[in-house]
Amino acid sequence: SAVISQKPSRDICQRGTSLTIQCQVDSQVTMMFWYRQQPGQSLTLIATANQGSEATYESGFVIDKFPISRPNLTFSTLTVSNMSPEDSSIYLCSVGARLAINTQYFGPGTRLTVL
Amino acid sequence: TQLLEQSPQFLSIQEGENLTVYCNSSSVFSSLQWYRQEPGEGPVLLVTVVTGGEVKKLKRLTFQFGDARKDSSLHITAAQPGDTGLYLCAGHHGSSNTGKLIFGQGTTLQVKP
């Protein structure tokens, strides 16, 4: 399995500001994903981070609000822009397993609180 | 919309009891995974099942994939406080090569000593 780290692990931000979350993997992976999770609830997929091209967003998520970068096969960032208290959540990155794309491994998450 | 219905949503039991969590869909999945998540951490993969009727065991945990690959169950024998956490099932549809998973709503398990 891949080792995935996220920075920051948590942050408290003011309304109207932006936060960029980093996801680093210890090996090259094809698939990287970003999720949002309310505490105690399930995961909602925000987008698939594509290396060398624009991310693929799920219904209800747009690039202006959640710009994503994927400069190489081991790194991605998710920015939460113009934040409001409704953006308070846990943000998780995941990667598809190299030999089994149907299997995903998750980072530890970033807990975001917007005041 | 392809959904995974997970039940129960909440379960609070005493140490030593057995329990079963269910994951059901009207759609066929090419594979299904179970994750456990503890507070402050990301989900950790427990098992992947790919064959209809498949049964996998992980110590006191038994996972089963339905014959038609539309449902799955997780059975825990003699639950311990360390089993406490959020259990998530997630499925992948064979027609998709996007690697995307569909997640159930999750089951929050509390095992009291």
- Sort residue A60 into left (φ over 0), alpha (ψ -120 to 50) or beta: left
Decide if A109 and B41 are in contact by the 8 Å CB cutoff: yes
Whether residue A62 contacts residue A78, with contact meaning beta carbons closer than 8 Å, is answered with no
Query: In this complex, how many residue pairs, one in chain A and one in chain B, have their CB atoms less than 8 Å apart?
Result: 63
In the predicted model, what is the mean pLDDT of chain B?
92
Give the mean pLDDT of B57-66.
Answer: 96
Residues with Cβ within 8 Å of residue A111, at least 6 apart in sequence:
A9, A10, A11, A90, B40
Residues in chain A: 115
Instruction: Please tell me the predicted confidence (pLDDT) of residue B99.
Output: 79
pLDDT per residue as tens, chain A (115 positions): 789 999 999 999 999 999 999 999 999 988 899 999 988 889 999 999 988 889 999 999 999 999 999 999 999 999 999 999 999 999 999 998 766 667 889 999 999 999 9
Which of B45, B100, B107, B109 to mutate to test binding with chain A, by most A CBs within 10 Å of its CB?
Answer: B100
pLDDT value of position B1 = 54
- Percent residues over pLDDT 90 in chain B: 80
| A4-108 CATH choice from 2.120.10.30, 3.40.50.720, 2.60.40.10, 1.10.3720.10 | 2.60.40.10
Residues of A in contact with B98 (CB under 8 A): 48, 56
pLDDT at position A103 is 82
Q: What DSSP designation does B83 have? A: G
Residue A35 structure tokens: 């999720």
Tokens of A106: 């998750």
Complete domains list, chain B, with CATH: 16-96 (2.60.40.10)
CA distance B89 to B105: 8
Question: What is the b/e burial string over A90-100, where b = at least 16 CB atoms within 10 angstroms of the residue's CB?
Answer: bbbbbbbbeee
What are the extents of the domains in chain A?
4-108
